[in-house]
Amino acid sequence: GKFDPAEIVESARRGGYAVGGFNMHNVETTQALLQAAELADAPVFMQVGRAVVPHMGLAESFRMTQRELSKSDAQAVIHLDHGTYDEVFEALRLGFDSIMFDGSHLDFEDNIKATKYVVKVCHSFGVPVEAELGKIPDANTAINWPDFYTSVDEAERFVAETGVDFLAISAGVMHGVTATEPLPLDIERIARIRDVTGIPLVLHGASGVPLDDIRAAIAAGINKLNADTDLRHAFRRGIEETWALGDRQLEDGMAEGRRQMIEATVQKMREFGCADRSQN
Ligand code: G3H
Ligand code: 13P
Ligand code: ZN
Ligand code: NA
C-alpha cells in the first residue's frame, strides 16, 4: 500500500486521538468505509475479519478491498483483523499493509512465542503487527472479568519480548453490544499498560461504548479503536427500512444501507478524534 500504518497510528498517539479500524463485509460496506473516510477526511484501517473470511475468502476480501481503495482518495490501509497463525502468512503473501495476529486463546508463553515469530517475519516485509493479550469477550455471554482483563505485568513482558507494534488489550469492553451497561471499563489499567509498554494500544469492541468512556480510553493510551457492530446495524437498518416500503430491488436496499453506514462511520470518526486528520 502507499500509506504507512505505523505512521498513521503514531500520528494518532502524538495527536491524542484514535484511528478507526472498521470491518468490511462486502463491496457496499467497503465503499461505505472509504467514502466515510473521504467525507470525514480521516485515516482508516480497512479490516478483513472473522465474518468475511469464511464468506468470501481472505484473498478475494483483500483484492476487492484493494480494488475499491485504488479508486478512492482516502488515506486507507488494509488490515487483517483477528488473524490466525496461518492467515497471517497468507495475508503477508497477498500484500496486506498491516496484520493482527490474535494469539489470545494461547497460554501466555505460547502467545509470546507465536507472536514473536509473526513479528519477525512481518517486520522483514515492513508490515506492522497488532497482537492481543488478555481476552476480549463476546457480549451476552457469561463474563467473569478477572479471567479476561489484560495483566499489566504480562503486557510489559509481552511487548518487550515480542517487539509487537500495537497491543490490543482487554479492559472491560466486549465485541458486540450489550444491555448490561455500564461497562466495567478499567481506565487505570489502560494507563498503566501504556506506561509500562510505551506502545500505542488498541481497544476492540468500540460499538456500544458510551462516548465519555471512548474519550477516557483515548486519554489513557488507546490510539486505535475497532468498531463493527454499530456500523453493521446501520447498514442493516437501511436495507430493512427500504424493504419495509414493499418489494424493492436488492440494490435499492443496499444503496440505502451504504448511505446509512457512511453516516454512522463519519460519526464514529468524529468521536474517535480521527476526523480531519487525513494526511492524504
Ligand atoms: O508457535 C510458534 C513458533 O514460534 C513458530 O515458529 O513457525 O518456525 O515453528 P515456527
Ligand atoms: P464491535 O462489533 O463491538 O464494534 O467490535 C469490533 C471489533 O473489535 C473488530 O475487531
Ligand atoms: Zn476485535
Ligand atoms: Na462492543
Residue 162 CA to ligand 3 centre (angstroms): 20
In this prediction, residue 249 carries a pLDDT of 95
In a domain, 93, yes or no: yes
Q: Stretch 258-271: mean pLDDT, rounded?
A: 98
User: CB 80: neighbour CB atoms within 10 A?
Assistant: 29
Cα-to-centroid distance, 42 and ligand 4 (Å) = 21
Instruction: Tell me whether residue 279 is in a domain.
Output: no
Report whether pLDDT(238) > 80. yes
- Rounded to the nearest angstrom, the distance between the alpha carbon of 81 and the centre of ligand 2 is 10
Cβ neighbours around 129 below 10 Å, total: 26
In a domain, 119, yes or no: yes
Q: Is the CB of 243 under 6 A from ligand 1?
A: no
pLDDT of res. 181? 63
- To the question of whether residue 65 is assigned a binding role by annotation, the answer is no
Query: What ipTM was assigned to the predicted interfaces of this complex?
Result: 0.83
Task: Output the nine-digit C-alpha cell for 28.
Answer: 457496499
What are the cell numbers at 164?
A: 509487537
Name the closest-CA residue to atom 1, ligand 1.
114
Q: Is 123 domain-assigned?
A: yes
Domain-located, residue 277: no
- pTM score: 0.96
With respect to residue 94, please indicate whether it lies within any of the assigned structural domains. Answer: yes
DSSP 85-146: HHHHHHHHHHT-SEEEE--TTS-HHHHHHHHHHHHHHHHHTT--EEEEES--PBTTS---GG
d(CA 274, CA 266): 10
Reply yes or no on whether the pLDDT at 51 is more than 70.
yes
User: Who's near 83: CB < 8 A, 6+ residues apart?
Assistant: 91, 99, 100, 101, 102
Report the atom number in ligand 2 closest to the C-alpha of 206. 4
79 within a domain of the structure (yes/no): yes
Determine if residue 102 is labeled as part of a ligand binding site.
yes
CATH at 122: 3.20.20.70
Please, where are the H alpha helices in 16-84? 27-40, 52-56, 58-70
Q: How many domains does the chain have?
A: 1
Tell me the pLDDT tens digit for each residue of 137-184: 999 889 999 999 999 999 999 999 999 999 999 999 999 998 766 788
- 107 carries an active-site annotation: no
Q: Domain span at residue 28?
A: 5-272
Does residue 150 form part of some domain?
A: yes
Mean pLDDT along residues 21-28: 98
